[in-house]
Structure formats: structure tokens, C-alpha cells
Structure 1
């Protein structure tokens, strides 16, 4: 597995549409005049998702820091806009949505705090997320893809692993069968989500919350404690027969933290995951209900798990 891409760049223009709403935030209001991307930026927008799918109720989470990578002041008000990518450096693309008020999820133990919105993505294309305050702005590109064109797909079947698709029945390491991996769980202390293998849970007709992540060797500043966050959600209430499963990413221990060329565990290869972390919720019928990669605030994970059991 290659080092995770966590700062997305882009060079193509887009001319398609996108609509967004803020989770718990403001609706579209009076829009400010946004500067072109070529202007000096006061903020650094960190996008850690491999891709965003078109469709309703998509989660978009991102890091936002000052240009020196220091966190914003706690009372700093931020407006978020979504706009098409301009065709020339001195132009500004059409604003599709905004101002939107993002919700902030503070850092927990590791990583950094992240901001998030819930979006309705109507058409694929290349867009920009613009963060604006009274002191300046920051911008980064986001790629929106049709689910049928998702990069995440099973190498064997070739089908995209998207909501509505069948989950891949793969064996994952458990306390009873560690599959020879160097570590069952690199979280300290280890999580309690290694009691059942994914293939066993699917065969038994259990709903599944499947987390692919490596706490010790996460390669992004905004990935945060995804496994610990899911563990907290698992323990906070009775989820019935839902199987919570965690799989590490690497079969061998990365030397000095370098992950390039390190073999991945069989389940990661079976699912064709090009990045990490990833979370999939899977219904009792084996169909993927939802998925998420990149930053995983507790509020988003709780929503996805809740949707599985609703």
C-alpha cells in the first residue's frame, strides 16, 4: 500500500453542479465575494478523502489550519463555500453553495480537530472547498465521482464497493486466528473488535461495522483515532447482533514507520483499498449500506452506525 494521499491536488476544470447543506449550520445566506485560488492564502485546507460520491447525505470532513499549520482560534468563525474550479488562475469559478457553517470536532488524543458538513452531491466533477474568515481564506480541490466510477473495487470481481453493492467476504484476523500478521491491533491498548472474522459475520447474517485502519502507522495529520472512536461508540450502548470488526492494514511491521512496499493483510487486498482508514457499514443481507474514508469524527461514525440499526 502506498502512502495515503491526504492533500488532494487537481488541474482539470469542472462545469457540473453540486449542492451542499451544513449539518447543524446555516443555510445559504448572503455570499461574500471570494478571491481566486491564486491569491495568497491564510489557511490550509486538508482533504483526506480519496473520493466523494455523488448522492444525498454525503459526509465531507476536512482539516483547517493557519498557513503555519497551527490550529485556528477556538472562537474563529468560518464560512465554507463550494465552487467550480476556474478555467484560468485569475478567475473565480461559480459558487455552487455557501456560506455554510461547518461543525467542528475537537482533537481526541491524536491527530487534530476536523470540520465537517453533510452534502448532497448531484453531479460528478472537480470543485473547490473554500474556507473564508474575516482574516483570509484557504482553498483545496475536491473530486466528486459517480459511484460506478469509484476507485475502490474488488480486484477479483471488479465491482465498485459502494452503497448498494455486495460486501467482499474476506477473512480478518481474530484473537483465535491471527493469520500470521505482525500485530492483531496496533492501538494501545488493543481494541475489542477482533472477536469474529468478517467472512464469519457475513455468513451468519449479522450486520457489520467494518473498520480498516492502522492506528500506529496512520499517514495523515487528520486521520485521528478512528479505531478508538469506533470502540467508544461500540461500548456506549447495546447494538444487538451488530458485529464490530477492525482489521489492521499491514501484514508486516513497517520499518521506521515507512509504509511504501509493505505487504497488506489479505482482507485489504481482497477489498482493493488504495488508502486508509476506511469504514463500511454492511446490512444483514451482506449489502454495503454506507462507507467513509479519511477523517472520522465521532458524530459521523455514530450517525453511520445508527443508520445501520435504524
Structure 2
């Protein structure tokens, strides 16, 4: 997989003033072991900003041979999940780099370091779809941290990588545009009530509402029938049509978690395009959530409010934590 391909993993769904790019961060393979996680390094292992600008901080290291590509492009003022992938120059996913993220608005002191953990996107083989398994270029890890953007506007981003000998290398990262103006429901917002097509609606022909091969099991219930009554996992994704195949792996992850804890939430996979045809544009349900890219995960409490929202790739551990959080609301 080229870095350029990674940086444009999931296509924009609608024309927008700002192009939505650099959306997704990884795809999963198959494993019969528990998903691997690597803890975040200590922040003390990285330089403190100490009033320096991002440009000044960058001088603390050499130019890295690794590329860091962010998973998300929708940010609000305050603390935000910040996910990304790390790649070699030839496009291979790096699973265990020690990475810290720094951020600053132009000309202002940098904030950070925000050190990142990495998580595998692999599932057990039983839940790995053909869609995912047949992608030879699949990425396999996502890195996550939390970054505090205290103001709206564009933020410059820098990744600092700690090498094995204790030295540092740096990699510029796509800027983050931080703003309140989004119609996408976030934590604390009431989840828009939509009707999601079910297996019964299509006479059991799941290929009409699921591009995964084979179709998944998350089409038993209509979202409108369960929201506000129990926790809900609502995943907008299109496994066969997502440019990067990241949708396939996250649907696989949701299928595995559903199998492991079927009574803890209603699980719903919502496809993106009318009749599964990109030329026909997004389905109304996608428009109702204000989405301009995919995949998107919403975990909703029994009170009908969004508890967790994740753009792009996520790990099994993140989904489990989101369900646990939603179970404690409402």
C-alpha cells in the first residue's frame, strides 16, 4: 500500500468546502490470538515543549524515514481522540513505534507530548471476511492518543519518534482543522432516529444491504426500534466500496465483539450508498448523520444519547470500552 493510498483511504461522500482526506488508518488480517496492544511510552521519554514552537521542536530530531498518516479529520475544541497509522517508505505498517504527537497553532508554543499506544486491527480467523482477507495491502495497526485542542482553527501537527538508541526523528503530519461546525452528532447529543434496513426488509437477501463477503449478522433489528431502549452499536461502513478496505476490518471487529457479548448492545451495520452503488450517492441515513466520509462508529446509551463517536479505524479494545461506557448511561 502506498502512503498516498493510505492518506486517502475512504472517499468523500459529498462535495464539501474542505476535502475530507486522510480518513482511515488500518485494516485487519486474521489471528486466533487476542488482539495485540502496545502501551504508550512515557511522556517523560520525549522532549517537553517548554515554550518552543513546533518548528523549534522539530530541530530536536532528524527527518524520520517513517510516514505518519492521521485517521481523523473532524475535531472539536477540547480533548479529542487522535488516531493514525505509521508506515515505512515502501508502505509497510509499523506496529510498535514509540511515537508522541505535538500540536500548535501557527506561531504559538507547541503542546504535547501526547504519546500513543498501538493496537492490532486483526480479528480471529472465524470473523475475518473475504473482503478483508483478499486485500494484500491491508494495514494492521492503529495508533491512538488524546490531543487537547484548546481553540478553533488550524493546528499544525508533528510526530516525534523515539529510536532504539534514544535519539529522535520527526515527521510532519497533516494539519488538523478544529471547529464546532459539524452536523455529526457527538457525545451527549441525542442520536438521530433513523430506520436501518433489516434482513426481513430485503427478504433475507443481505447482499442488498451489506457489501461484506460474506454478509454480516448485524441486520436483525431496525435502529428506530431499539434506540432509547438499550445500548446500540451503529456502524456506518461499506466493506467492498471503501477505497482502503478499512471498512471491512472494522466491520469484522464489530462482528467479533457482537459474538462475544451479544446481550450487551444491539449491533447494526449501516451501508453507505443507495443500492450499494457509489454513483447513486449516499443513503438518506448517512445524510441524516451528516457524514461525509466512512467508516463512522456511534455507540449509543439506553438513554438514546451518543456515548462514543469514532471516525475511521478502531480496535476491538476501543469498541469494548465504548460498549462498557454506554452500558453505564441511561
Contact (CA 8 Å) 1:123, 1:144: kept in 2 or not?
A: no
Determine if the alignment matches structure 1 residue 53 to structure 2 residue 82.
no
Contact (CA 8 Å) 2:232, 2:300: kept in 1 or not?
A: yes
Matching residue within 188, 209, 212 for 1:184: 209
Contact (CA 8 Å) 1:104, 1:114: kept in 2 or not?
A: yes
For residues 244 and 205 of structure 1, the distance between their equivalents in structure 2, rounded to whole angstroms, comes to 13
Matching residue within 76, 98, 118 for 2:145: 118
Cα offsets for 1:119-167 (capped at 9, x unmatched)? 1525134130414243843221342535xx242x2xxxxxx51111111
Determine if the alignment matches structure 1 residue 308 to structure 2 residue 326.
yes
Matching residue within 54, 57, 67 for 1:44: 67
Q: Which residue of structure 2 aligns with residue 28 of structure 1? A: 43
Give the aligned length.
271
Contact (CA 8 Å) 1:121, 1:144: kept in 2 or not?
A: no
Matching residue within 75, 79, 102 for 1:82: 102
What SS does structure 2 have at the residue aligned with 1:53? coil
Task: Report the aligned-residue RMSD.
Answer: 3.2
Determine if the alignment matches structure 1 residue 243 to structure 2 residue 263.
no
Contact (CA 8 Å) 2:64, 2:161: kept in 1 or not?
A: no
Determine if the alignment matches structure 1 residue 278 to structure 2 residue 300.
no
Using structure 1 for the length normalisation, give the TM-score.
Answer: 0.75
For residues 326 and 281 of structure 2, the distance between their equivalents in structure 1, rounded to whole angstroms, comes to 32
Cα offsets for 1:42-62 (capped at 9, x unmatched)? 222111313133444x43221
Q: Which runs of 5+ in 1 are unaligned?
A: 9-22, 88-92, 154-159
For residues 101 and 170 of structure 1, the distance between their equivalents in structure 2, rounded to whole angstroms, comes to 35
For residues 268 and 159 of structure 2, the distance between their equivalents in structure 1, rounded to whole angstroms, comes to 36
Q: Which residue of structure 2 aligns with residue 90 of structure 1? A: none
- Greater mean deviation of Cα atoms: 24-33 or 269-278: 24-33
Contact (CA 8 Å) 1:62, 1:222: kept in 2 or not?
A: no
Q: Which residue of structure 2 aligns with residue 63 of structure 1? A: 85
Matching residue within 91, 95, 99 for 2:110: 95
For residues 78 and 105 of structure 2, the distance between their equivalents in structure 1, rounded to whole angstroms, comes to 20
How far off is 1:221 after superposition? 6.2
Determine if the alignment matches structure 1 residue 268 to structure 2 residue 290.
no
How far off is 1:262 after superposition? 3.1
Q: Which residue of structure 1 aligns with residue 238 of structure 2? A: 214
What SS does structure 1 have at the residue aligned with 2:173? strand
For residues 262 and 221 of structure 2, the distance between their equivalents in structure 1, rounded to whole angstroms, comes to 17
Name whichever structure is richer in helix by fraction: 2
Q: Which residue of structure 1 aligns with residue 51 of structure 2? A: none
**1:221 and 1:132, CA in 2 relative to 1: closer, same or farther beyond 3 A?**
farther
For residues 119 and 144 of structure 1, the distance between their equivalents in structure 2, rounded to whole angstroms, comes to 16
Q: Which runs of 5+ in 2 are unaligned?
A: 1-12, 24-37, 48-55, 133-137
How far off is 1:225 after superposition? 0.8
For residues 245 and 209 of structure 2, the distance between their equivalents in structure 1, rounded to whole angstroms, comes to 23
What SS does structure 2 have at the residue aligned with 1:252? helix
**1:275 and 1:101, CA in 2 relative to 1: closer, same or farther beyond 3 A?**
closer
How far off is 1:71 after superposition? 2.8
**1:239 and 1:285, CA in 2 relative to 1: closer, same or farther beyond 3 A?**
same
